[in-house]
Amino acid sequence: MSIINQTFVDFEVIVGNDYVQEPVSPEMMGIDDPRIHIINHPQNLGEINNMNYLLSQSKGRYFTWLADDDLYSLDILETVYTALSNLDFPPCAFTSFQMGSTYQTMDIPTDRTYNLFTGKDFLRKYLSRSLETLGCCGIFDRQYINRIGGIQQLGDSFSPYSDNLLAIQAGLLDKVIYIEAPLIFYRTHDESISLTSKNINAYISAQVDLVHKCLPILTNKKLMEDYDLNNYSLIKWCMEDIVGVAYRSGSMGGKKMISHLLFLMRHMRSLKRPDLDLKLILQFSKTFLTGAIRLLCSLNSKSVRSS
C-alpha cells in the first residue's frame, strides 16, 4: 500500500516472486492496478539474480528496488522526482531511512531537504557514516545502473554488502543527490537474514569481494586524493561488522576469522598515513575486546541459568 498510495502516480511496479511453490496474481492479492506486474519465476533465481531480472524488465527512466518487508513514505517518489528535476536529472539519488521491528505509519515529512554532492563528497560522507542510506534503495538512472552491471553478487552466500557497493560506486559520479529525510522504513525482524544471520563465512567471503571491488574505485583519479581516509573508513566498517557477526555467532576466534582479520590488516597497510594506521588498530582492538567481553558475559549468564 505504501507504493499504490504514492502522491506521484507515474510509475510501474514489477514484482518478482521467487517462491516457486506458491504463484501469486494481482487478483489473489486484491490488487486491480495496471501499473503493477507480477512475474512468477519457474525456478528460484536467488535474491541477486531476481533483482537484476527485475531491472532487465523495467521500462522507466529511473529504477529502484524495495524489499517486500520494507515501506515507503507516501511521497518518496514525488520528493525524489522534484529533486531530480530541479537538479537536472543526475544519475542517482539516495534518501535517509528509519529502522524498527514493527511497522510504523510513514507520514509525509515536513522537511524534504536535498543536497547535490559530487560523487567524491558523497562517498567520503557515506563511508564515514556521517550520512546513512540503503544503497539498493537508491533511485538510479536505468542506463547508469545497467552500465555498472546492476547489483553484484558478493561472496558465496546471501551476498551481504552488495547494497553498500552500489553506494560506493556512486563515488565515481560527478553528481549525486542525497535527500535528508527518512523516506524508507527498513524493518528489522527475526527473519531478516542480513541482521540475524550467524553465517560468518558469508560475511567473510563478501567482505573479501567488497574490498577487492572497491580498490579500483578508491584509487580512481577522481577519488585518489581521499584514498587514505576512504580506505580507512572501509576497513574500519568491515572490522566492526565482522566482529559483530562473530559475537552473534558465538565465536570470536577460529582459523577463518583470524585469517580474515589478517587479510584486512594487510589491506590496511596500503595506507600512507601512520596516524590512520594506528587509529584503525586501536579502534579494532576496542571493538574486538568489547565483543569478546559481551560474549563472555553472555556465556556466563547462560551457564548460571542452566545451573
Domains of the chain with CATH codes: 61-194 (3.90.550.10), 198-306 (no CATH)
pLDDT of the residue at 102: 82
**Can you list the residues of the chain whose pLDDT is less than 50?**
302-307
Q: What pTM did the predictor assign?
A: 0.89
| Buried-exposed string 72-111: b where 16+ CB fall within 10 A, e elsewhere | bbbbbbbbbbebbeeeeebbbbbbbbeeeeeeeebeebee
- The answer to whether the CB of 15 falls within 8 A of the CB of 84 is no
pLDDT of the residue at 304: 43
The alpha carbons of the chain give a radius of gyration, in whole angstroms, of 21
Residue matched to cell numbers 579494532: 284
- Cell numbers for 225, please give them: 586524493
pLDDT of the residue at 258: 80
User: How many beta carbons lie within 10 A of that of residue 271, not counting itself?
Assistant: 18
CA distance 256 to 45: 29
Dihedral angle over CA of 183, 187, 193, 197, nearest 10: 110
- Closest to 228 measured CA to CA, from 265, 274, 165, 172: 274
- Closest to 73 measured CA to CA, from 105, 42, 119: 105
37 backbone dihedrals φ, ψ, rounded to 5°: -120, 135
What's the one-letter identity of residue 181? A
